Amino acid sequence: MKTDRMGKALILAVAVVNTTIMPVSGMAGNPAPNPYLSAPKGAMTHFDPVQTDAFTQAVPAGTRNAYGPLGVTPQTSNGFLNFVTLKSTSPDYVWAVSSTGVSYLKVANDAVTQMGATLVFPGAIVVAQNLLTAVLTQPFTTVQQAQAALQSLGLLTGGQSLGPAYSLVDADNVLYSGAVDSIVAVGLISPALPALGVHILRSMPSSAFVQSGESITGLSLNYDGKLVVQGTRSVSVVDRNFNSTPQTVRFGSDETISNSLALDENNGLYIVSDKKMHKVVWTGSVLSNQAADGAWESPYPSGDTFPTLFGSGSGSTPTLMGFGSDPDKLVVITDGLKRMNLIAFWRNAIPSGFTSRIAGQIPVTAGLPLDTQYIQSDQSVTVDGYGAFVVNNVGQAGLRDTIGTIIPDALVRGPVLDSPLGVERFEWNPLTHGWTSVWSRGDISSNTMVPGKSIASNTVFVSGYYRTNNSGWEITGLDWNTGQTVHRTILGPSTYGNGMYAPIEFLPDGNLFFNGVLGFIRVQLPSGLVYPAGLPL
């Protein structure tokens, strides 16, 4: 299906495949807030320790084109790949994190104002913003052109780290992030004078956590305040003051971890490698992978590789489902097959009458033809209650040209190569202990951004690229129960609208706060107005 089939009729929800399953999401409870984070939601990537990608803010419905006196351009930037915006302990400020640095932003009164200078992470390659913008906003016609442009800026070398993609902010308003060769704790120079900006409070070398050849792939915070550091073959726990020696569990030398981790209120850590799902337990004094402490591991279907995604195996950070008195407590992922399945594992003891750690699985069709070669995702499963939402991130055209070129592909996928298409909503039934498909949309694009679900608006949001009327990049909101399109914020065809691998985020007032490849953009909703930096005063 071509992307140009999407037009204004989408607001009427053309191409919704609805299997008339009645959702039972309301039956499931909510995850316990972690008191050591700066906020119950929004203090870390994927919004919370259980990695739901669900947030509490209401978001206005309707369609609008983003616009402004300076165009749809960033109000501030930390350089290349502006990954995530995290809540501080004050509602007037947020932490803005990119692949190269971090800044503290004031977001009160509809403005975006940077406090002090951007802090550059140790070892990061910094490219002047005007040069970065000039090179990456040029009209590319091939993946090879995009790759050459990135190489000319030094952005495909070891001086770039994906560690900052999984940052967090604690209850003391200290940000923790991976850098090129370290974990850093960043705080305000003066908490009483935020305008002075931020500095590094302390750091710990990556070698304290990972062995040679490994890298940091995720951070989280235990419910007793200990920092959790995940590597490509390990997971560690350390005090946030970095004064203790980390405790580490290492995984098989034949396994690789490329996603972050989920964490429950009992300090169970859920980690997926390219071959197995693991549960490791922090007992309060020992990091354990022993069954006597509740730890386990389970293989899952895997082994295929995907040209435009980060490696083989599951592309999803594990997400937890079922809390408190809920009957089924699960951890869910998409698997590692070319045409993926949605898989649920029992988090704790396997219930009586069941023999497998895998509680249930269901093929993902995403509303696409049966002969579609790849249906795979690089995003965590979006969860609210017992409802789950997954996206296909593999475009079907030009795959031979993009092998081994993940970032260049993400830069041109949509403007040059056809966007990936296909999303699907599922429901876990705790009475039958199985999955059902609720609806699917084969006409919806989700390129690389992490989907997000507004609990208040009952809407799930994705980011894709559409060529119809040159509309370009768009944030699309779909009704959680029906799949109908209820929200469209059109950002346009410029590279500024590419939110490469960042989560879709909204501020408490419902404004879109867009984490773009070239900077952060606040879009006023419902109007679509983009003010210049620092305005309105």
What CATH number should be reported for the domain holding residue 93?
2.130.10.10
* Nearest-angstrom CA–CA distance, 261 and 31: 15
* Nearest-angstrom CA–CA distance, 147 and 409: 8
* Nearest-angstrom CA–CA distance, 448 and 413: 9
Q: Which residues span the domain enclosing 285?
A: 3-523
Element (H or E) spanning 305, and its range? none
Domains in the chain, number: 1
Backbone phi, psi, residue 385, to 5°:
60, -130
Backbone phi, psi, residue 74, to 5°:
-60, 140
Q: Would you say residue 82 lies in a domain?
A: yes
DSSP single-letter state for residue 330: E
Burial 483-521 (b: 16+ CB within 10 A, else e): bbbbbbbbbbbbbbbbbbbbbbbbbeebbbbbbbbbbbb
* Cβ contacts of 1 within 8 Å, gap of 6 or more: 368, 369, 421, 442, 443
* Cβ contacts of 89 within 8 Å, gap of 6 or more: 38, 39, 169, 171, 172, 173
* Nearest-angstrom CA–CA distance, 119 and 97: 10
Element (H or E) spanning 107, and its range? none
Q: Would you say residue 121 lies in a domain?
A: yes
Backbone phi, psi, residue 199, to 5°:
-150, 165
Please report the pLDDT score of residue 12 as a whole number.
Answer: 33
Please report the pLDDT score of residue 21 as a whole number.
Answer: 46
Cβ(169)–Cβ(263) below 8 Å: no
Cβ count within 10 A of residue 537? 8
Q: Would you say residue 529 lies in a domain?
A: no
Cβ count within 10 A of residue 93? 19
Cβ(186)–Cβ(174) below 8 Å: yes
* Cβ contacts of 334 within 8 Å, gap of 6 or more: 314, 315, 316, 340, 341, 342, 343, 364, 376, 377, 381, 390
Cβ(477)–Cβ(407) below 8 Å: no
Please report the pLDDT score of residue 426 as a whole number.
Answer: 99
For residue 218, list its beta bridge partners: 230
pLDDT tens over the chain, length 537 residues: 333 323 333 333 334 555 444 444 445 788 999 999 999 999 999 999 999 999 999 999 999 999 999 999 999 999 999 999 999 999 999 999 999 999 999 999 999 999 999 999 999 989 999 999 999 999 999 888 998 999 999 887 654 567 899 999 999 999 999 998 999 999 999 999 999 999 999 999 999 999 998 999 999 999 999 999 999 999 999 999 999 999 999 999 999 999 999 999 999 999 999 999 999 999 999 999 999 999 999 999 998 876 556 668 999 999 999 999 999 999 999 999 999 999 999 999 999 999 999 999 999 999 999 999 999 999 999 999 999 999 999 987 665 555 557 888 899 999 999 999 999 999 999 999 999 999 999 999 999 999 999 999 999 999 999 998 889 999 999 999 999 999 999 999 999 999 999 999 999 999 999 999 999 999 999 999 999 988 876
Q: Would you say residue 16 lies in a domain?
A: yes
Q: Would you say residue 536 lies in a domain?
A: no
Q: Would you say residue 528 lies in a domain?
A: no
3-class SS at 134? helix
Q: Would you say residue 398 lies in a domain?
A: yes
* Nearest-angstrom CA–CA distance, 90 and 38: 9
Task: Give pTM, 2 decimals.
Answer: 0.93
Cβ(453)–Cβ(462) below 8 Å: no
